[in-house]
Amino acid sequence: MRPRYFLAVLFFLLTSVFFSCRSGSVNSRRLLIYTPHGQDLLRDFVARYKQKYPGAEVQFLDMGSREVLERVRVERNRPQADLWWGAAHTTFQTAADENLLEEFRPSWADKVPEGSYDKQSRWYGTYETPQVIAYNSDAVSAADAPRDWDDVLDPKWRDKVLIRNPNPSDTMRAIFGAMVWRFQKDTGSTDQGYEWLRKLDANVHEYTADGTLLMQKLGRREGLITLWDMPDVRLFKEQKNLPVAYNLPSSGTPVITDGIAIVKGSANQEEAKRFYEFVTTPESLSYAAQKYYRIPVRTDLDRSTLPAWMNEPFTRMPLDWDLLRKQGSDWLRYWDTSIRGRSSKQ
């Protein structure tokens, strides 16, 4: 009995090791991505990646950038996502400071400008995202459309402005933060910035749940004006055939550096690194520029492979991004509790 028992136990152990190794091998090709980049871009790039790496099992959860941050915070002791693809550099830096991101230096690390990466290589910039003033081009002529931030406050736009709910959105946080900061830098006070947001609120018809709803409602004339990011507006205009157009604000626009990072302690970091490198090759960046209007951060690309409009200059708003990162949540909290929905619509 003893030899048989020994052989049975040995067989069981060897079988267990075999299947655990096999299971580990399969799991090592699994990749879960948290991202706000939108269904079109995500499905496209996942399909392209799996074509090149057919053994990979790639899934993604599409949510607002601040929702990603909150989720990664909650899961810090048992990380679920492997890769975080997409958020403002300010949000990534907050995550890095909270020790939520792994150090990883991509092969192109020296090909991005100063300020577009974390000094400890916990995140790197992928795209530059300017913010714009968008409008329904069937209902508003190019001559009448707002050309600068203060134009949106004109009483003629009363109850005609749509705004994406700022709390989960890095785009809106950047715009609202920029509006407060541009007054604070000269006066040392947030009062005039808050007054600007109060006047905007008086013109707002609705705060929408997400960017897709925002653009759909703009296309249906549920509102005529909005503030949003340039790539989305171009995508809905040129690929979804919505009657929308935009102006880059004449006084300058905040330009978000959109980033990518590996989640600290994630289970499948080798696959995460492979995907990280794949979506940031010159070929992938040029493809994203042509099809999804994403302006690449990398400085070593052949500019002739990009759309012509990406090589045209525009005015950037100089911002103290670190101040916005540290104080922006307080500014937004004040807006949420003391301004939102409280301005006179008379």
**Count of domains observed in the chain:** 2
Question: 78 and 105 in one domain?
Answer: yes
> Looking at the domain assignment, is residue 197 inside a domain?
yes
Check whether residue 80 and residue 33 sit in a common domain. yes
DSSP 201-236: HHHEEEEESSHHHHHHHHHTTS-SEEEEEHHHHHHH
Domain shared by 203 and 328, yes or no: yes
Tokens of 197: 């947001």
Q: Are residues 9 and 158 in the same domain?
A: no
Mean pLDDT of 217-237: 97
CA nearest to 76, candidates 269, 342, 328, 266:
266
Residue 145 confidence (pLDDT) above 80: yes
| Domain co-membership, 280 together with 212 | no
The tally of CA atoms less than 13 A away on the side-chain side of residue 79 is 24
Residue 29 pLDDT:
80
Within-domain flag for 345: no
Tokens, residue 263: 């989640």
Asked if the structure places residue 216 within a domain, the reply is yes
pLDDT of residue 14: 39
Cβ burial, residue 66 (10 Å; 0-12/13-18/19+): buried
Q: Does any domain span residue 346?
A: no
Same domain, 186 and 326: yes
Name the nearest CA neighbour of 225 among 296, 295, 150, 163. Answer: 163
Whether residues 203 and 327 share a domain: the answer is: yes
Q: Kindly report the CATH number assigned to the domain that includes residue 63.
A: 3.40.190.10
Q: What is the pTM of this model?
A: 0.89
Structural domain contains residue 87:
yes
Token pair belonging to 35 = 């991202």
Q: Does one domain contain both 123 and 266?
A: yes
Q: Does residue 63 sit within a domain?
A: yes
The model's confidence at residue 177, banded by pLDDT at 50, 70 and 90, is: very high
Same-domain status, 190 and 120: no
- 214: pLDDT strictly greater than 60: yes
pLDDT per position as a tens digit, 239-282: 999 999 999 999 999 999 999 999 999 999 999 999 999 999 99
Do both 47 and 78 map to the same domain?
yes
Give the C-alpha separation, 264 to 260, whole Å. Answer: 13
Q: How remote is the C-alpha of 237 from its chain's centroid?
A: 19
Q: Are residues 221 and 319 in the same domain?
A: yes
> Does the pLDDT value for residue 182 go beyond 80?
yes
In a domain, 147, yes or no: yes
Q: pLDDT tens across 102-134, in order?
A: 999 999 999 999 999 999 999 999 999 999 999
pLDDT digits (tens, 9 = 90+) for 274-322: 999 999 999 999 999 999 999 999 999 999 999 999 999 999 999 999 9
Residue 177 lies in a domain: yes
- For residue 31, what are the β-bridge partners? 58
Mean pLDDT value of segment 135-153? 98
Binned at pLDDT 50, 70 and 90, residue 344 comes out as: low
Q: Given a cut of 70, is residue 15 above it in pLDDT?
A: no
Residue 6: phi and psi, rounded to 5, are -60, -45
Same domain (yes/no): 7, 118: yes
pLDDT score recorded for residue 26: 41
Domain hosting 201: range is: 130-255+315-339
